Amino acid sequence: MGAELGNYKSCVSARSTDKEILRHAQDGGIVTQLFGFALDEGIIDGAIVAATKEFAHKHPEKAMMDNSNMEFHEPWRPIPVVVTTKADMLAAAGTKYNISPNVSLIKEATRSFGLDKVGIVGTPCQMQAVRKGQLYPIGLRDVGSSIALAVGIFCMENFPYQSIIQLVEDHAAMKMESVRKMEIGKGKFWVYGKRGQVVQLPLKVTHKYEQPGCHVCLDYVANLADVSTGSVGSPDGWSTVFVRSKIGDSVWGKAMAAGCFETQPIEKVKPGLELVTKLANEKITKNKKTLEERATFGVGKALRNPYI
Amino acid sequence: MADKITVGYTHLSGCTGCTVALADNYAGLLTLLDKYVDLKYMPTLADARHIQKVDVSFVEGSCCINDKLAVEELKETREKSAVVVALGGCACYGNITRFSRGGQQNQPAHEAYLPIGDVIKVDVYIPGCAPTPQMIRNVAVMAYLLLKGTKEQKDLATAFLKPLMMAAQKGTTACFCDLMTEVINQGLCMGCGSCAAACPVRAITHEYGKPQGVRDLCIKCGACYNQCPRSWFSFDVVSNYEAINEAIMAALQ
Ligand SMILES: Cc1cc2nc3c(=O)[nH]c(=O)nc-3n(C[C@H](O)[C@H](O)[C@H](O)COP(=O)(O)OP(=O)(O)OC[C@H]3O[C@@H](n4cnc5c(N)ncnc54)[C@H](O)[C@@H]3O)c2cc1C
Ligand code: SF4
Ligand code: SF4
Ligand code: SF4
């Protein structure tokens, strides 16, 4: 046991008390519920989330600048958007297992979108980007103090969009548009079809499709978020939640008092923190090894190490 | 006050945007000047303009080598300062002045602009076009802690400034291409989007999660690369973001 879970003030297993959110959410609906509550309370004016391309096509004014052909239907491709209503937050709920560059909107959210208090959800690396941006705001004038709530989601790895097509259409033999949900859990990549079919792929199939940049990543549970959450450690339909910063503690406390969440002590649930710790350690150990291998990659030539 | 640090500001071929960014700290700037910084010389914001011996000098703008006075001032700045900070894209990387072909009034023969690191040794970079008020503030507070702080504060300031010192050692060119050659080609990009957010001219979009640059728009400021968490990232510093932010804000109260 060491620093693999980051600093946190409290950790619980939780799920939203809003049935509608649970119907759309990936796990316990922590992200969507917390943003919805923060919006109601005026803690944030809006949030940067990963919407579907279809949503971005319908609402280009809410989306990141993107030059791709929006007429071309690409199910499960996320596009970062700034949303200011609970309905739009709900529309963006659920995990898309491919890259959504949410931080790309962090400045624009405070400019043309006019938000003074920005919420953002992202993977651990995106939380690192947010915090680097607050301490070293090289091109992010006035952005740092506008970040009112940064919610991190656990992440073992991410995929390019084309990898997901490959996994779903080639390996799982399903059409992208017929997929209801994708999930990584219990050592498998799960694809749930809209008509009830379920396909599971062993992770040894998915590994080669991972985004290479993930192989130097040293954070599993979004150590730098205000609140971070993921499914691992908690029972199905529940989420493991780390409350980390002062901001996170304050927002979480208010949301709890308002009855947003049902919780169970993390010590009481199975598999609990033991599994989270194990997976975090596995990820960090594996990727540290990759960094070491990069140092002696060529003949007298190293690949670059970003960490100083 | 005796334990202030002495600071100077040399203005070469820059648009005064860096000066404005410094001034845009408003009350924070007044606190800095009140408690921590003795501003010895600076065009625009101080009475004295002539270069003097100081602890830290900020240099705005690149240096036109056809302009004798600019070259002299830059060299004098180096000789008289313990620490030289290149402030802004032009001083660090040439930025928009890289595109000069001369011919402008009233000095049409001035056409060869170099980032200051091509003329003198530079210790710290603050990239960005314009650099942000908060970045200037953070570096100023850290420079103070480095020179006047307790042992602990010195260590923090050293760790904070280290990547900006490494940037100064790394080189004097910047471009969108840095993301291709140093991040994507090196297998390090993870698609966070910071680069696109940082770009002052919106030269960067993301296609399938990876940055795509309109290189004709790029002004070579270096913001994208330096903002990218996969260019440089210090866990020691960034993991303590909360305490460091609080310390900086408290210092400016
Ligand atoms: C690539 C990836 C890998 C993950 N790996 C793990 C893991 O190994 N273990 C684990 O426990 N959890 C993992 N998660 C997190 C998990 O899948 C859920 O996202 C998390 O539990 C939140 O669920 P929720 O019900 O609270 O959120 P919801 O209410 O469903 O909201 C999810 C939020 O995440 C946003 N989002 C969706 N996709 C992305 C994306 N690609 N990038 C950024 N934001 C996005 C949505 O816009 C939405 O706002 C991963 C998530 C991603 C995106
Ligand atoms: S594994 Fe790391 S780098 Fe890859 S998406 Fe997840 S947090 Fe980002
Ligand atoms: S900031 Fe760096 S890691 Fe993030 S998308 Fe841009 S190039 Fe990739
Ligand atoms: S792409 Fe933008 S941020 Fe990057 S160097 Fe060019 S102008 Fe600067």
For the segment A246-269, the average pLDDT, to the nearest whole number, is 98
CB–CB of A138 and B209 under 8 A? no
pLDDT-based confidence at residue A68 (cuts at 50, 70, 90): confident
What are the pLDDT digits (tens) for B197-230?
999 999 999 999 999 999 899 999 999 999 999 9
Q: What is the ipTM of this complex?
A: 0.97
Q: Is residue A57 a contact partner of residue A78, using CB atoms and an 8 Å limit?
A: no
Architecture of domain B5-172+240-251: 3-Layer(aba) Sandwich (3.40)
**pLDDT at residue A1 above 60?**
no
B252 touches chain A (CB under 8 A): no
**pLDDT at residue A70 above 90?**
no
Q: Which atom of ligand 4 is nearest to the CA of B174?
A: 5
Which pLDDT does position B200 carry in this prediction? 98
Instruction: List the CATH code of the domain at A159-210.
Output: 3.10.450.750
CA distance A135 to chain B (A): 7
Cβ-Cβ contacts under 8 Å for B131 (sequence gap 6 or more) = A138, B18, B21, B87, B88, B89
What are the pLDDT digits (tens) for A154-188?
999 999 999 999 999 999 999 999 999 999 999 99
Domain parsing of chain B, residue ranges: 5-172+240-251, 177-235
Which pLDDT does position A71 carry in this prediction? 83
CB–CB of B132 and A214 under 8 A? no
CA distance A204 to chain B (A): 21
**pTM, entire model:** 0.97
C-alpha A128 – ligand 3 centre gap (Å): 12
Fold match, B5-172+240-251 / B177-235: no
**pLDDT at residue A132 above 50?**
yes
From chain B, pick out residues whose CB is under 8 angstroms from the CB of A283.
Answer: none
pLDDT-based confidence at residue B1 (cuts at 50, 70, 90): very low
Q: Provide the H-helix boundaries in chain B.
A: 17-23, 27-31, 68-80, 88-93, 133-148, 151-170, 177-178, 194-198, 223-227, 235-238, 241-251
Q: Is residue B142 a contact partner of residue B57, using CB atoms and an 8 Å limit?
A: no
**pLDDT at residue A227 above 90?**
yes
CB–CB of A103 and B197 under 8 A? yes
pLDDT-based confidence at residue A64 (cuts at 50, 70, 90): confident
**pLDDT at residue A235 above 60?**
yes
For the segment B12-38, the average pLDDT, to the nearest whole number, is 95
Within 6 A (CB) of ligand 4 lie B 174-176, 198-199, 201, 203-204, 213, 218-224
Q: Which atom of ligand 2 is nearest to the CA of A211?
A: 4
CB–CB of A135 and B245 under 8 A? yes
Mutating which of A67, A104, A208, A283 best tests the B interface, going by the most B Cβ atoms within 10 A?
A: A104
Q: Is residue B113 a contact partner of residue B98, using CB atoms and an 8 Å limit?
A: yes
C-alpha B231 – ligand 1 centre gap (Å): 25
Which pLDDT does position B44 carry in this prediction? 86
Which pLDDT does position A9 carry in this prediction? 98
**pLDDT at residue B241 above 60?**
yes
From chain A, pick out residues whose CB is under 8 angstroms from the CB of B242.
Answer: 245-246
CATH class of the domain defined by B177-235: alpha beta
Domain parsing of chain A, residue ranges: 10-158+218-275, 159-210
